[in-house]
Structure 1
């Protein structure tokens, strides 16, 4: 046993750090948090200055015992957990447990922090220890107490007023409100028609396009041409004025500069990984944690990136020197600006002592260490490396040209194009955008000078409709949370995963949609706890926690300031709001059956429209259906194969299906859509074929078309190839995070597997 005991959170990090510190240091892992609030009421006591009752986390008790045992043989304790509030709290909780076990006694206890796991950073941290920061610990305790008080008091109210098993969170609730309000915007949106007129032109056998820009001396507004008649009239006017050709009136040539984006912070890394790699926020943070803690790249375990929970865009001077050296060697000195670029953080209260997320050494080029990384590790490291290198390169220089073609009295068509004169940083990396059409730098125009004549091939009036605001993606939601000041770098991923786990939102085609329960919960909180789901209030509370962390504010008075009006609001709403009021929404529409007002109600299967006169009147229809749509939709020319009654389309818990009109006397059902045939013969019965089906949970599986006579089924996509090992007539395609995509034999006793190079793995993007 060495003289010094060093504690970190994870065994991977412990292994990496041990390599740098040598035989006089023993490095052990706490395996994350070691203590948490007791899992029952009374864990936070507002009557006694919010005294908090903690208990050791069962799964980590054995690790704490091992640390206590090792501490008995050590000369001092060095707490080296992560450099943020959570890391400080883990160190403090561990220290308190070791004190209770009398393992520390009179031995010195040091706290060290580092933002990258490299030999230089570790040794420098060990040489400059400090004490535990109770300001950071108290900020974490205040956040934990606030979350507990909100969850433990608001969740039971949701049980009573909406549905059992629901829960509310201090930060998740405003995030849910964002998603619900966006959905309501989309539903209220009414598209407007507009038309544009484009001309297909040609010069020297090169085709290009010009667009009507000025009409009768006025710049063309979006809704100037708001119907087909107007567009066709303008088309005819332009055809008659042009006579088959147009003359160049004015040529504008400009040069513009585009600067690189700042190096990654937590939120921008999550956004770009979502856009470019398709990673969820939680997946991004999990892989980044692996890169930070250390991976064996042939020279032993080494941390590949700096700490991934940060809101600072600062780069260390030694990192800048290395990046500039790499750019000069790899891309040429002409791609290097005269001085290092600096960036200003947009985040409020950013920890400027921290660094941006960057490679620990820019000289570790992604391709050179690819063989030591998993596919997802390589892709994320490649993204971070490229962004970091690009941010220190020269700007891109782009030549733009705009050409005007007069056509008749006061009409002008305009063609635009651009070319990249000097690519600069674009040759390495270019930032993606949310919900925006990518700017084309390759819209090439022929050489055009004033007075040149071009051929008019065709005029094309095009109909368009305005579009509603897009639903949030993970990237755009993180960006919006950051803009509102909701949450902090360490919480974005957990906010999103919590909303999904609680089934308040679903992710459809990579965009968030609120569930019916999510809508009702958000409506209840917005109507009755508006202050606590207000974006500014939530952001102000985050600022208050930051002030505690900086030692500028006391945490107990802040909790009193929050708790006293909050508990009063809970009591008022518990007594004054009925469940029916919460789960029912009045509609300005009469029941077609009895004439009483209709309502949107929350049932076991979600929201539906029903009559306020229930149970006397049983009229119902789905939300979003018109009155006419509520009438039974019978299937022409088909009768029930079991009883002969007509078949109709029904809606159930798992969507639409075909059912018998004589239900409940006849319970015949079949899927509305025919399952997709994979074309692979069932390997068991050798008569049916494998069909692609969807389980009730929504998960895809593949089963024999002769079901229920043949019940053979597999979870993975079947391939019409026999297994080379056991001869089973069919293989399947299996994709896992760890191993990528493989051909595998579905027979459990056969271990055959063979890697498959997909399009995604081939291009590395």
Structure 2
């Protein structure tokens, strides 16, 4: 008898088949003496569309809402139905008696496999492959240590609960908003609070009133010192006050009243999880979150140079420590050869900052595998991202940065001034991490680092000059993808409930694997625009947040759901109870939209009228920054891209072809363009 191995993607499936010696290869599966390896091509099964429950749901109509099917149906995805039939056929073979689930080791991967098993009618023995890298050694070890499939049934129930809840709330609210305001709108439990954060930041910027302030600094020759009062305030709101203080201290003498020296150390930053890597990919490489994940997926699946990408952990487990030197050897031929050789000469003893079993859930941090890296096999993007991962791995294993912190309190004519400095003792990891100085913003209250180690209490310094430095308070910065990912990871400041604050601090908005898609969805729905690295809400995005029910704007809904999903996955709650509450919540949300007195009036619409329906077009920008005009009418959907109109080589999209056909039908003459000889004879006979 044979075992069927179900992978999530063809590339992963073929690698598993190679290791399992499945030499017979087809387009849809590989077969060997003991194993048949096939794959899902992502999802093969999904929840059925509303129209498959009742014909009345095929039309978008406010009267038919809410849509609350008694039991959720599933359907095979049409474009990959051929692959489903292949998998189903293998599962029904008489010589197959065991199934190994080898989809991605996580909640979504479990859902992919279990829905296929359900629609295929599989009832046989099921085991689970749970690995964190795609190297041959990891695959072999994984098959030696397969887990019982029943161990992951609650994980599947958690994933299914999420999918059903998103269907119930997302589809109902999207239809309700779109029908109520006759425009294409969409909402969801992760998408909408994420957009709300971007809109709130934009409103803070628009309402911000800059204020002038002045600092007072004394030049003491060897270093400078800054004035601040006993409460730590170093600013004057009135220039005259700052100037009066500067004049008072002119020509004075500074004496050191106190000097404080402390030896300190700074541990290396933690290893990468997906979100942190996406942040750095955006900061340093200009990659979008989605691009970082795509490139990372190639490094994991195709090259096998890095471990599982979709992780939310920044630690490894103790059993992995013996593999660290092999991983270092595998990346020796990189820009960090000298540092790696130095590490290989030592007995590696990483601390809790890197090794902590309690901080690893499904998968450990993203680190290099033991597969020897050949940079010649990588694209430019892959080299850049791999460099970030290797550098962080070397940094994490390096010694702390050790320094002496020095702070001084001085007095000039009765006024206190302060100076600060650091003296490096051992560079440690900072000699490697060229990007360690990255900062999200500037803080004018921070004193500059200076060389102060040679001075002592009581030392005197003549005041060379005293200056006033003008500053202007700044509004909060717009979100970049890097800072938005941070906010999505920990949106607790937008939550008032203390218990929910802790829940959302643990989970955040979405998962590391879905956050990139959420940002892309907001862009493709024209709710936000990219302007350089900044994410800016469009007029429609701001208007959507104004009219959407309050419950959907706050991360609290997601926090509540994520806590329930965790409870289901750990067996503390039943799916049925959760879905029952979601159905009631859906009714309330739909009712709020139906009964809303608000009107939909997005600002900054263009002056151009839609040629199809006459409504004003909204101006947005495509990925390249070119203008694009879109009709927001629910029944229309016209799109106009002026930058591409005169391009003779461009291909028309499906939507544009449909629009052109409708325009032709609408404005063309109904009379025949030509007449045959027979038509002419018939016409003559009619006249007679």
Same fold (TM over 0.5): yes
Question: In 2, Cα distance between the equivalents of 1:68 and 1:131?
Answer: 19
Alignment correspondent of 1:319 = 320
Task: Provide the rounded CA distance (Å) in 2 between the counterparts of 1:143 and 1:266.
Answer: 21
1:514 aligns with 2:514: no
User: Partners of 1:713 and 1:419 in 2: how far apart?
Assistant: 64
Aligned 8 A contact 1:312 1:345 in 2: no
Q: Is residue 27 of structure 1 aligned with residue 37 of structure 2?
A: yes
User: Is 1:555 the counterpart of 2:556 in the alignment?
Assistant: no
Conserved? CA contact 2:551–2:557, under 8 Å: yes
Is the Cα–Cα contact under 8 Å of residues 272 and 431 in structure 1 kept in the other structure? no
**CA-CA distance at 1:31 after TM superposition:** 1.0
Structure 2 residue 143 is the aligned partner of structure 1 residue 143: no
Is the Cα contact below 8 Å between 2:317 and 2:356 reproduced in 1?
A: no
For residues 181 and 262 of structure 2, what CA distance do their matches in structure 1 show? 60
- 1:284 corresponds in structure 2 to 292
Structure 1: distance between partners of 2:166 and 2:147? 32
Q: Equivalent residue of 1:202, what SS? A: coil
Alpha-carbon deviations, 1:319-339, whole Å to 9, x = none?
322336759962358986755
1:180 equivalent to 2:199? Answer yes
Distance 1:371 1:445, change over 3 A: farther
Q: Tell me how far 1:34 sits from its aligned partner.
A: 0.4
Going from structure 1 to structure 2, the CA distance change for 1:318 and 1:571 (only over 3 Å counts) comes to closer
Cα deviations across residues 703-747 of structure 1 (Å, max 9, x unaligned)? xxxxxxxx99999xxxxxxxxxxxxxxxxxxxxxxxxxxxxxxxx
**C-alpha contact 1:146 1:170 (8 A) present in aligned 2:** no
- What is the CA distance between 1:196 and its match in structure 2? 0.5
Task: Determine the C-alpha separation between the residues in 2 that align with 1:178 and 1:141.
Answer: 28
Structure 2 unaligned residues grouped into runs of 5+: 23-32, 58-65, 330-338, 492-503, 608-616, 630-645, 651-688
CA displacement, residues 335-377 of structure 1 (integer Å, 9 cap, x when unaligned): 867554355999xx9762421222223x84xxx6221111221
Q: Distance in 2 between matches of 1:475 and 1:189?
A: 23
| Distance in structure 2 (CA, Å) of the matches to 1:432 and 1:163 | 50
Which position in structure 2 is the counterpart of 1:687?
Answer: none
Aligned twin of 1:212: 227
**Aligned twin of 1:611:** none
1:232 to 243, 267, 292: 243
CA contact (8 A) 1:341 1:391 kept: no
Structure 2: distance between partners of 1:605 and 1:548: 48
Q: Deviations over 1:538-580 (max 9, x none)?
A: 2111110121122221112211112114314413531x324xx
- 8 Å contact 1:235–1:461 — kept in the other structure? yes
**2:411 alignment partner in structure 1:** 406
- Alpha-carbon contact 1:85-1:139 (below 8 Å) kept: yes
Per-residue CA shift, 1:437-475, capped at 9, x if unaligned?
A: 499997445843445555644432111122222222222
RMSD: 3.6
Q: Distance in 2 between matches of 1:329 and 1:188?
A: 51
2:188 touches 2:552 (CA, 8 Å); kept in 1?
A: no
CA positional deviation for 1:81: 0.3
Q: Among 509, 512, 516, which residue is 1:489 paired with?
A: 512
**Preserved contact between residue 266 and residue 489 of structure 1 (Cα < 8 Å):** yes
* Superposed displacement of residue 87, structure 1: 0.6
Q: Secondary structure at the match of 1:582?
A: coil
Post-superposition offset of 1:195: 0.6
2:665 — aligned with what?
none
Q: CA deviation at 1:268?
A: 1.9
Matched, 1:5 2:24: no
Q: When the two structures are superposed, what TM-score results if normalisation uses the length of structure 2?
A: 0.74
Q: Which residue of 1 aligns with 2:584?
A: 564
User: 1:309 offset after TM fit, Å?
Assistant: 1.6
Partner of 2:499: none
Counterpart in the other structure of 1:118? 135
Moved over 6 A (4+): 44-49, 333-337, 438-442, 711-715
Contact 1:311 1:345 (8 Å CA) reproduced: no
Q: CA deviation at 1:400?
A: 2.3
- How far has the Cα of 1:172 moved from its partner? 0.7
CA distance in 2, matches of 1:240, 1:603: 58
Offset at residue 397 of structure 1 (A)? 0.5
Residue 54 of structure 1 and its aligned partner are, at CA, apart by 1.6
Give CA deviations for 1:39-71 in whole Å, capped at 9, x if unaligned.
334659999885222221122122223334555
Contact 1:313–1:344 (8 Å) recurs in 2 = no
**2:233 matches 1:221:** yes
Please give the alpha-carbon distance, in whole angstroms, between the structure 2 residues aligned to 1:167 and 1:694.
23
Residue 83 (structure 1) aligned to one of 92, 97, 105: 105
Q: Taking structure 1 as reference, are residues 189 and 178 closer, same or farther at Cα in structure 2, changes over 3 Å only? A: same
Residue in 1 that maps onto 2:659 = none
Residue among 696, 699, 706 paired with 2:627: 696
Cα shift at 1:512: 2.0
Q: Which of residues 421, 430, 436 is equivalent to 1:426? A: 430
- Partners of 1:351 and 1:491 lie apart in 2 by 19
Partner residue, 2:305: 304
Aligned positions, number:
569
Match of 1:160 among 158, 179, 183: 179
The reply on whether 1:36 has 2:46 as its aligned counterpart is yes
3-state SS, counterpart of residue 308 of structure 2: coil
Show the counterpart of 1:58: 78
Identify the structure with the greater helix proportion. 2
Q: Normalised by the size of structure 1, how large is the TM-score?
A: 0.67
Say whether the 8 Å CA contact 1:335–1:393 is kept in structure 2.
Answer: no
Write the distance in 1 (CA, Å) between the matches of 2:356 and 2:532.
32
Instruction: Quote the Cα distance in structure 2 between the aligned partners of 1:388 and 1:81.
Output: 27
For residues 247-295 of structure 1, the C-alpha deviation after alignment (integer angstroms, 9 at most, x for no partner) is 5554432221111222222222222222222221111111121122131
Task: Classify the secondary structure of the residue corresponding to 2:247.
Answer: helix
Equivalent in the alignment of 2:117: 95
**In the alignment, structure 1 residue 499 sits paired with structure 2 residue 522:** yes
Structure with higher RCO (Cα < 8 A, 6+ apart)? 2
Partner of 1:171: 190
**Partners of 1:118 and 1:402 in 2: how far apart?**
51
